Amino acid sequence: MSSNAKSADALHRETLAVRLATERSQYGENSEALFLTSGYVQPSAEDSARRFAGEDDGYTYGRSGNPTVTSFEMRLAAMEGAEACMATASGMAAVMLMCFSLLKAGDHVIISQSMFGSTLKLIGSEFGRFGVETSVVPQTDLAAWRAAMRPTTRLLFAETPTNPLGEVCDIQALADLAHNAGALLAVDNCFATPVLQRPIALGADIVMHSGTKYLDGQGRVMAGALCAREAMVHEKFLPVQKNSGMVLSPFNAWVVLKGLETLDLRMKAQSAQTLALAHWLEAHPAVGRVYYPGLASHPQHELAMRQMNGIGGAVLSFDVKAASPEQARQRAFHVLDALQVLSLCTNLGDTKTLCTHPASTSHGKLSEAQRQAAGIGQGLIRVAVGLEHLDDIRSDLDRGLSSL
């Protein structure tokens, strides 16, 4: 804890987001220091022995800890309301660390079919090679999650809201389902962030993050994290992390640490712009359906507002109107190619507005039938809304939409 922030418990989340970090160095730097070092000089051979025996938590080597990384972990844990946090090299490294630490051959995992594509592949295919069994269920169908439970079910892993349609699942209900069977619930909180949604308060055991997205918030670095109880972080995640090396670089930790300082402001501002853009798109003659949890027309609007602090997030998708899938694709490409200000870029969580065509990018490997089942048509455009002036975002999208 930074020396001028007295007690973490007495302070608000917004304050911890700017203040919580490891002790200042002897130089009294006000902005948190960046410790680019792979090794640490030991005070004595006796201290060194204690640290290696795990009896003293002083730093020994970059793979098992770094003060800048610790600052990021402390800060994110406080913002998520978690006891502890372990940073990782990327969001997928966090998923890898979680599964590697908690699962063994014969264990069963339940995930939603709408999860991030690499998550589905890593758990469903790669871990399948080592005897972990996976059931893939519809995101919003609680009965399907319940029906998939087995005596060997160890982990339920949900992502809410999802990409690109913003489907929302009930975290509290999934936590009850998991806990009644002695299983764990993990939640990918990438789209909502702790500003909108705190899964641990709703009963989740683990919160997984891609720090690459809103935590950094400016599209600069890759990062990831797992937030959980102290015992799980230290007894399950830390040993695997130390020995596998999926560690977050100190530089990236520093960038994301500073990103957390503006997360609250960015999420609220970008979400407000997204809601306004969603209303404008709903009224646009060239636009079909708009998918955004903040809209009353969204099928899980009520649940989303209850679970997400009354805010819908900063990602929306919409269908351009068309008579056939071929025409829909051609029209969506027309809108994207007409952009002059916004970026055609398959990322999200940036201050710059990023637009993508999911059917030919993130969901391009699915068959047309699978895409239809997932509701991802050729006319679908996803917009991860940034901080440009709303008028400029609207007119850049309108350039293509009004010339179809």
Q: Is 159 in the site for ligand PLP (CB under 6 A)?
A: yes
**How many C-beta neighbours within 10 Å does residue 357 have?**
23
Confirm if 198 and 80 have CB atoms less than 8 A apart: yes
Whole-angstrom CA distances from 49 to 54, 57, 66, 70 are 9, 11, 18, 22
CA 208 vs. chain centroid, Å, equals 6
Binding segment (CB under 6 A) for ligand PLP, from list 52-60, 87-95, 283-291, 375-383: 87-95
List 213, 266, 329, 357, residue binding ligand PLP (CB under 6 A): 213
The conformation of residue 9, written as its DSSP 8-state character, comes to G
Least distance CB 381 / ligand PLP (angstroms): 17
Minimum distance of ligand PLP from residue 45's CB (angstroms): 40
Residues 88 to 127: which contact ligand PLP by CB under 6 A?
A: 90-92, 116, 119
Binding mask 290-309 for ligand PLP (x = CB under 6 A): --------------------
Q: Which residue is nearest to ligand PLP (CB)?
A: 91
Q: From the CB of 260, what's the least distance to ligand PLP, in Å?
A: 16
Q: Which tokens hold the place of 344?
A: 């055609």
Using the rule CB under 6 A, is 252 a contact of ligand PLP? no
Return the closest-CA partner of residue 155 out of 189, 112, 184. 184
Piece of the chain touching ligand PLP by CB under 6 A; list 205-213, 290-298, 357-365, 379-387: 205-213
Stretch that binds ligand PLP, among 98-106, 183-191, 193-201, 263-271 (CB under 6 A): 183-191
Q: Which tokens is 38 given?
A: 């792979």
**C-alpha dihedral over 363, 366, 370, 371, to 10 degrees?**
30
Q: Which stretch binds ligand PLP (CB under 6 A): 17-25, 59-67, 85-93, 285-293?
A: 85-93
Question: CA neighbours within 13 Å on the CB side: how many for 39?
Answer: 4
Residue 50 CA to residue 72 CA, distance in Å, equals 25
Q: What residue ranges bind ligand PLP (CB under 6 A)?
A: 90-92, 116, 119, 159, 163, 188, 190-191, 210, 212-213, 222, 224
